[in-house]
Chains A and B, each alone.
Chain A
Amino acid sequence: MTEQRKRIPVQHLVGFVLSIALTLLAAWAALGSGLPTLWIIIAILTLAVIQAGIQLFMFMHMVEFKSQNGHVPWNMMLHGFVLAAILVAGSLFTMSFGFSHDHDEEDHNQHEQQEQQEQHGGH
């Protein structure tokens, strides 16, 4: 309860500024940095992990071991991770599994068939 009486929430302000800075950095990496695409993706992913860490530690009570419940909310975090896994894995599963994306192969097959037909025609 003493925590709530503190008038200036330094931790939250630092977290707020940091998260905005990281967001701007990510936007710059994508739009203005001129890096190769692979490095942009790696940079954004790294920034995202740092961003998530900031959220967890500065805002999401990760460090309040001795708060009123006396434990880290692993339980809720687990729910969050499971949901994220369902979202990502599920989307990949439904959006890619069973669709034929390999257009090259298809073209190749058609090409082969055509060649065979042509060969037949030749004989």
Chain B
Amino acid sequence: MQLDEFFVTGEPLIYGAMVSIVLVSAAILFILTYYKKWKWLWREWLTTVDHKKIGIMYILSALAMLFRGGVDALMMRTQLAFPDMNFLNSQHYNEIFTTHGTVMIIFMAMPFLIGLMNVVVPLQIGARDVAFPYLNAMSFWSFLFGALLFNISFVIGGSPDAGWTSYTPLAGAAMSPGPGQNFYLLGLQLSGIGTLATGINFMVTIIKMRAPGMKMFQMPIFTWSTFVTSFIIVFAFPILTVALALMTIDRIFGAQFFTLTGEGLPMMWANLFWMWGHPEVYIVILPAFGIFSEVIATFARKQLFGYKAMVWSMILIAGLSFLVWVHHFFTMGAGAFVNSVFSVSTMLIAVPTGVKIFNWLGTLYKSKIQATTAMMWSLAFIPSFVIGGVTGVMLGMAAADYQFHNSYFLVAHFHYVLISGTVFACFSGLVYWYPKMFGHKLNEKIGKLSFWFFVIGFHVCFFPQYFVGLDGMPRRTFAIVLEWMPLNIISTCGAFLMGAGFAIFIYNVYYSFRYSKRETTGDSWDGRTLEWATPTPVPFYNFATVPHIRSNDAYVEMKSKGETTFDEKNLEPIHMPSNTGQPIIMMAIMFMASFFLVFEWIWLAIASLIGVIIMMVIRSFDYDDGFHVEVDEIKRTERSARGL
């Protein structure tokens, strides 16, 4: 292979990206070396198994991915603003909408939520870490290297260009030759390992490691949403794994699972993809519901209204999520009866979702609402999500779907649910738990500014798209006609407002780091759940003594009784896991194996896979059982953290 085939050439935008990648990497290397931070980075972050640090790394990576996906989005909106824009050519546009979708779902939404889960869930249930801390670190590194593999595709080898759904036969070897589509397959496969492991990890953590006395129906609602999500992950991700593996075998080893020739069944890809894909959208929305519930209950200063109904509706949504996948391809040509069945099951999902909406409204009813930034994100969610949900029911009607299918109406719908659901929740949750993670709040004034920019921009961007979709503008088109121009210009303006909102948010991180008041107590918002019972910054073992739980809002009761998580008389040595460099090394080798497989360099890939197996063997004979934190050390840490 020639070097100019290896690197992507001929696009000024991509040359610019290459230069900035080199400059940023050089800057990072320089800063780390100049301030002698390498050892610190390795010891404190790269080898950590602490769920709080892993969560923070997840969130930082997700923000970086949000930036990347956002830049993709702005480029697309620029291209679509006017007819005959020559900002992007059709090939480049195809690559960008593909990476935008994939990055936003797989490498932004999920990691962001998993990051928040990592930070919050063990704290909420009174655990000292997740059930399998080593596995947790492995999950993170597999996600990060998967994301890395996917993201380097635009400078090395060429990006995938068959849409984030990667439908065959278009995505097959015959019609998409070259490494681009392989990057999609292996990037997703690699990060999928981590997601699946995370699902198992949280399932076990929540079942096994709750504080004494905490019944399942006393768990905080975000923990419940994580639990339900873990189930969906464990059941849905194997389907994706198998589908990706089949297509990889198709493309690299010449099998015929999804091809047009050789009795392949291209539509089976769509079928399998959406069998995973529909549960996947609930994987990214249920934790969001959990976050909104926590934030709304906290800032409405009330117990969550209809807690049990909330939990049961989540379980119902999770169950139904496996029964609706066909609504993504009503127009594929299945008979009227098949479409009717899935039309009905789709509309059924609106019922438990509606229950949840009314429960949030019930929580807010006659409450003293504190309009903090986190609360405003949650309040903005409710009406915006309802718009997205109602248009979803419209799309769910199979007959009408023949009109809406593949138009901007659909694009508007799923952006309405994903942004006002997942992205608002990510911001809301990040703002809400920020003091617990970093020891200071985000500035409220700047936070609200970024909120208004983002939310107004969001509606300005996507609301017109419903109408331009009804006017016939198809999805994934790189050129518009004059008739669609006015609405598209509005939409593009909205997109840039959202970009500004994100920029202000990032500035707020910097500003608050410099100027915000440091937290002195652990209870920044007068919280209701156990995570606020820990001091800030949270000691690495989380709880010096684990409280006994008797009611739903555990910390409300503890505060009324004057209990803390530092019961000096009952201190015992705490057993904690040791840090380890194995996960990052194992996943780095896995990354190499995947990279070689992308370019179909089979022998190098096999050599790397043997390396992975060696790492597994090393792990099997690793008898490190962790260490104990002595009572004296706990006393010292807690006293200084609590200012006693």
Hey, which bits of chain A sit against chain B, CB under 8 A? 79, 83, 86-87, 90-91, 93-95, 97-99
Cα distance A26–B554 when bound, in Å? 55
Cα distance A83–B231 when bound, in Å? 12
A contact residues around B326 at 8 Å (CB): 94
Cα distance A66–B322 when bound, in Å? 33
Is the pair B334, A90 in contact by a Cβ cutoff of 8 Å?
A: no
Cβ contacts A to B, 14 pairs, < 8 Å: A86-B322, A86-B323, A87-B239, A87-B275, A93-B338, A94-B326, A94-B334, A94-B342, A95-B265, A95-B267, A97-B334, A97-B335, A98-B335, A99-B335
Hey, which bits of chain B sit against chain A, CB under 8 A? 231, 235, 239, 265, 267-268, 271-272, 275, 322-323, 325-326, 333-338, 341-342
Cα distance A121–B268 when bound, in Å? 45
A contact residues around B271 at 8 Å (CB): 91, 94-95
B contact residues around A87 at 8 Å (CB): 239, 275
Cα distance A98–B333 when bound, in Å? 8
B contact residues around A91 at 8 Å (CB): 268, 271-272, 275
Q: Name the CB-closest residue of A to B235.
A: A83
Q: Closest CB-CB distance, A111 to chain B, in whole Å?
A: 25
Cα distance A90–B338 when bound, in Å? 10
Cα distance A59–B321 when bound, in Å? 29
Q: Name the CB-closest residue of A to B336.
A: A98
Q: Closest CB-CB distance, A27 to chain B, in whole Å?
A: 13
Q: Name the CB-closest residue of B to A79.
A: B235
B contact residues around A83 at 8 Å (CB): 235, 322
Q: Closest CB-CB distance, A80 to chain B, in whole Å?
A: 8
Q: Name the CB-closest residue of A to B268.
A: A95
Is the pair A98, B275 in contact by a Cβ cutoff of 8 Å?
A: no
B contact residues around A86 at 8 Å (CB): 322-323
Cα distance A97–B271 when bound, in Å? 13
Cα distance A123–B173 when bound, in Å? 55
Q: Closest CB-CB distance, A60 to chain B, in whole Å?
A: 13
Cα distance A93–B275 when bound, in Å? 13
Is the pair A98, B337 in contact by a Cβ cutoff of 8 Å?
A: yes
Q: Closest CB-CB distance, A115 to chain B, in whole Å?
A: 29
* Contact among B272, B323, B325, B334 with A99 in the assembled complex (CB-CB below 8 Å): B334
A contact residues around B231 at 8 Å (CB): 79
Cα distance A87–B268 when bound, in Å? 12
Cα distance A113–B470 when bound, in Å? 42
A contact residues around B335 at 8 Å (CB): 97-99
Cα distance A93–B342 when bound, in Å? 11
Q: Name the CB-closest residue of B to A97.
A: B338
Q: Closest CB-CB distance, A46 to chain B, in whole Å?
A: 21
| A94-B235 CB under 8 A given contacts A86-B322, A87-B275, A99-B333 | no
Cα distance A99–B267 when bound, in Å? 12
Q: Name the CB-closest residue of B to A68.
A: B208
Is the pair B338, A94 in contact by a Cβ cutoff of 8 Å?
A: yes
Q: Name the CB-closest residue of B to A83.
A: B235
B contact residues around A90 at 8 Å (CB): 275, 323, 325
Cα distance A93–B323 when bound, in Å? 12
Q: Closest CB-CB distance, A38 to chain B, in whole Å?
A: 17
Cα distance A97–B231 when bound, in Å? 30
Q: Closest CB-CB distance, A117 to chain B, in whole Å?
A: 29
B contact residues around A93 at 8 Å (CB): 338, 341
Cα distance A49–B268 when bound, in Å? 24
Q: Closest CB-CB distance, B221 to chain A, in whole Å?
A: 22
Q: Closest CB-CB distance, B432 to chain A, in whole Å?
A: 32
Q: Name the CB-closest residue of A to B620.
A: A9
B contact residues around A94 at 8 Å (CB): 271, 326, 334, 338, 342
Q: Name the CB-closest residue of A to B236.
A: A83
Q: Name the CB-closest residue of A to B333.
A: A99
A contact residues around B334 at 8 Å (CB): 94-95, 97-99
Cα distance A12–B523 when bound, in Å? 47
Q: A79-B235, A95-B268 provided; 8 other pairs, C-beta below 8 A? A: A83-B235, A90-B325, A91-B271, A97-B334, A97-B335, A97-B338, A98-B337, A99-B335
Cα distance A86–B235 when bound, in Å? 11
Q: Closest CB-CB distance, A34 to chain B, in whole Å?
A: 21
Cα distance A87–B333 when bound, in Å? 19
Which 3 pairs across A and B sit closest by C-beta, in order of nearness?
Answer: A98-B335, A98-B334, A98-B338
A contact residues around B341 at 8 Å (CB): 93
Cα distance A18–B265 when bound, in Å? 32
Q: Closest CB-CB distance, A30 to chain B, in whole Å?
A: 12
Q: Closest CB-CB distance, A47 to chain B, in whole Å?
A: 18
B contact residues around A79 at 8 Å (CB): 231, 235
A contact residues around B268 at 8 Å (CB): 91, 95
Cα distance A98–B231 when bound, in Å? 32
Q: Name the CB-closest residue of A to B207.
A: A69
Cα distance A102–B51 when bound, in Å? 57
Q: Closest CB-CB distance, A50 to chain B, in whole Å?
A: 20
Q: Which of A79, A93, A94 has the most CB of B within 10 A?
A: A94
Cα distance A97–B339 when bound, in Å? 10
Q: Name the CB-closest residue of B to A98.
A: B335
Cα distance A98–B342 when bound, in Å? 14
B contact residues around A98 at 8 Å (CB): 334-338
Q: Closest CB-CB distance, B345 to chain A, in whole Å?
A: 11
Cα distance A50–B320 when bound, in Å? 32
Q: Closest CB-CB distance, A31 to chain B, in whole Å?
A: 13
Q: Closest CB-CB distance, A6 to chain B, in whole Å?
A: 12
Cα distance A90–B279 when bound, in Å? 15
A contact residues around B342 at 8 Å (CB): 94
Q: Name the CB-closest residue of A to B337.
A: A98
Cα distance A94–B265 when bound, in Å? 13
Cα distance A90–B272 when bound, in Å? 10
Cα distance A91–B334 when bound, in Å? 11
A contact residues around B337 at 8 Å (CB): 97-98
Cα distance A98–B275 when bound, in Å? 19
Q: Closest CB-CB distance, B418 to chain A, in whole Å?
A: 25
Cα distance A90–B325 when bound, in Å? 10
